[in-house]
Structures are given as structure tokens and as C-alpha cells.
Amino acid sequence: MVTRHTRGKVVWVDLESPTHAELDAIMREFGIDDRIEEEILAPTLYPIALGFPRYLYLILHFPTADPGSGTRNQEVDFIVGKHFIITARYEVIDTIHNLHRVFEAEELLGLPHAPSRSDELLERLLRRLYGAIREEMEHAARILEHIENDMFSGKERDTVHAISDIGRVLLRFQTTLARHEEPLSLFLKGLTAPNFFGVKFHEHVAHIEGERDHVADLVRSYRAAATELRATNDSLLNASQNGIMKRLTVVAFLVSPITVLASVFSMSLVAVPFTHDPNGFWIIIGMGIIGSLISFAIFRMNKWI
């Protein structure tokens, strides 16, 4: 599907899962090299920035949460010339879809402040894509808060998987964003050349890189928070297990006097005390209880319980 917006001399063409015929027509219209057409037709694993005399080519992957796999990367290809921007993608990206609706409303209303230059349009597009990641991080923050509340409510065993899941998501976000830095910088630097937008584009570069850096910092901080929660949760689990072991140990020591007496008086000997005493059973039980009480008193004195 091909969506086109025209603002003065600037054209934005967005290709969503384009057919070979649609892509070929756009490439011929704007005089784009055949090598780029081949790159667009097949998904690319890593970000790429390439320079050509009349335009620059950039591939970026924007991470998004996925209920099935945790995260997935949405590839967006950018071809930017002085008076045109071409974007290509393989799936519906809500940010771009929503921007189309905004552009349609602006064009319908004829708003005077609507961007009518390629540099303004590119900044708006990239900042919205990074802004979508910021919204993902706000959702991650709410998950971390929920995990923390559960963790300190005695549900530390239930939060183990939740912490692992959010930590894995944040790691993938951080890895994907880290790969943006070099190609995006090269791409933006190329656009400051005289044959593109010139030095006036530096202000837009600062805004775009500032947005990317802000999002990357958010991901790093939330990942650090997830790591701290994992460490705290492990400490709570260890404390809980130690408490259980402590209680079991105390119980074992408290019943040990009775166990010892029972073993002694069960010996098959002729002269076992209290064997013929009618109150022998109660005497032995009483001795065991006294021994347990003495053990309990020793534990209390030493503050072991």
C-alpha cells in the first residue's frame, strides 16, 4: 500500500508492505538506485546508513512489546532527499499510521504551522517513533511497580518469572537502541551537507538525537531497576528459605529429647528403668517434655528463636 502526502514542494511517500510493482514505480519516480530497492524488498538484520549524491538511505529497527515473544523489531527504511522522504515498512506501525491521520487532518484544515520542509517532516517522524518507545517504557515502569508491590506483599516466589520477563524485554530494547547510535549519527551528519539541508539542520539533529538519547536512558534506568528488583527478590527468597530452615531446625531440637528418651527406653534390656512401674509411661513422657522445655529456654536465651 502506498500513502502519499504533499506539503508545498515536499513529498512524503509511505510504503506499507509494498508489492514489487509499487516499489519499482516509486523508485523510478524519484530516481532511486536499484540496490536500495533490493534492500527494501528483504528484511535487514542490522541498521544501515548509506549516502548517495541526491539522497541518503537509512534502515532502523524500532523495538515494541509483543504478547507472544516478549518483543519484536519493526524495521523502517528511510530515503531522504532535499524535497522528498520515502519510508518503507513490512507491517502496520501504529505511530506512522497515527501520523498519517494527523497529516490528513492538517491538510484538510489547512493549518499554517504544518511542516512543509523535508527536515521538519523527518524530525517529526523520527521523534514520534522514539516517542512510541517512551510510551512502551512508561508501561514497563507500571509493570515494575506492580512487581515491587507483589514482592513486598509476600509474593516473592510469584514475581520470579515476571522479573525475568520484563528484564528480557528491557535488554532487547536496550540492545536494539544501542545499534541506532552509529548509523543514525552518520545519516544525520550527512543531511547537514550543503547539497541537503546544510548547517541549519543541526537544530533538528539535536532534537532527534536528544529524543533517542532520552529513550535510551529510560531503558537503561528501568533495566537497572529490574536488576535491583531481581537482587532484592533473591534476598527475600533466601531470607524466606532461611526462616523455614530455622523453624525446622528448632522443631527438630525441641523434639530431640523425646526422641532420645524413646530410643533409650525401647532397648530390649532387663533393667530398663520404669519398666514395671505403672506410671512409667507418664514419667518418660514428662521427662521428654521437661527436656524440650529446657531446649526451648536455651534457644530463647541465645535469641535463636
Where residue 68 falls among pLDDT bands split at 50, 70, 90?
Answer: low
Phi, psi of 86 (to 5 degrees): -120, 130
Cell readout for 302 is 541465645
Domain-terminating residue out of 223, 239, 255: 239
- pLDDT of residue 177 exceeding 80, the answer is yes
Q: Are residues 208 and 64 in the same domain?
A: yes
Where residue 250 falls among pLDDT bands split at 50, 70, 90?
Answer: low
Domain that holds residue 185: 2-239
What confidence score (pLDDT) does residue 71 get?
Answer: 77
Q: Are residues 229 and 251 in the same domain?
A: no
- Report the CATH number at residue 170: 3.30.460.20
Q: Are residues 131 and 254 in the same domain?
A: no
Q: Are residues 134 and 282 in the same domain?
A: no
How many domains does the structure of the chain reveal? 2
pTM equals 0.70
Q: Are residues 232 and 246 in the same domain?
A: no
- Report the CATH number at residue 261: 1.20.58
What is the Cα–Cα distance from 17 to 135, expressed in whole angstroms? Answer: 25
Q: Are residues 249 and 220 in the same domain?
A: no
Q: Are residues 212 and 257 in the same domain?
A: no
Q: Are residues 139 and 282 in the same domain?
A: no
Say what angle helices 159-178 and 118-151 make with each other, to 10 degrees. 160
Q: Are residues 160 and 282 in the same domain?
A: no
pLDDT tens, residue by residue, 121-158: 888 888 888 888 888 888 888 888 888 787 777 776 77
When mean pLDDT is compared across 1-10, 14-23, 73-82, the lowest value belongs to 1-10
